[in-house]
Amino acid sequence: MARPARPHPRDLTQSWPDTPSTSAVGEVARLFSLNLRAAIGERSLRAAATACELSHVTLASILDGRAWPDLETIAKLEHGLQTRLWPTA
């Protein structure tokens, strides 16, 4: 049985990624996206994606709040960008 569809992270806030989410998981996704954006810095999306062994489309989807990154993607991002991205309280 397929799991029910869930909203995109950007659907859990008024203005992605600038406005905090009232949803706990939405807020983690928003903060993760902001951390990712900061870690990419001046690099192009393609350069960052290459460093992480991911598609630039995957990075764009996460940054735009259109995708929930899975554990493998998070690990590749943190390894490739050499920084922690998971938000802490």
> Residue 65's CB: how many other CB atoms inside 10 A?
21
Domain 22-81 sits in CATH at 1.10.260
Model pLDDT for residues 5-48, shown as the tens digit of each residue: 889 999 999 999 999 999 999 999 999 999 999 999 999 999 99
Mean pLDDT of the chain: 96
pLDDT at 4 over 90: no
Burial 30-56 (b: 16+ CB within 10 A, else e): bbbbebbeebbeeeeeeebbebbebee
pLDDT higher than 70, residue 1 = yes
Can you give the pLDDT at residue 41?
A: 97
Q: Would you kindly state where each structural domain of the chain is located, as residue ranges?
A: 22-81
pLDDT of residue 77: 98
Are the CB atoms for 16 and 10 separated by under 8 Å? yes
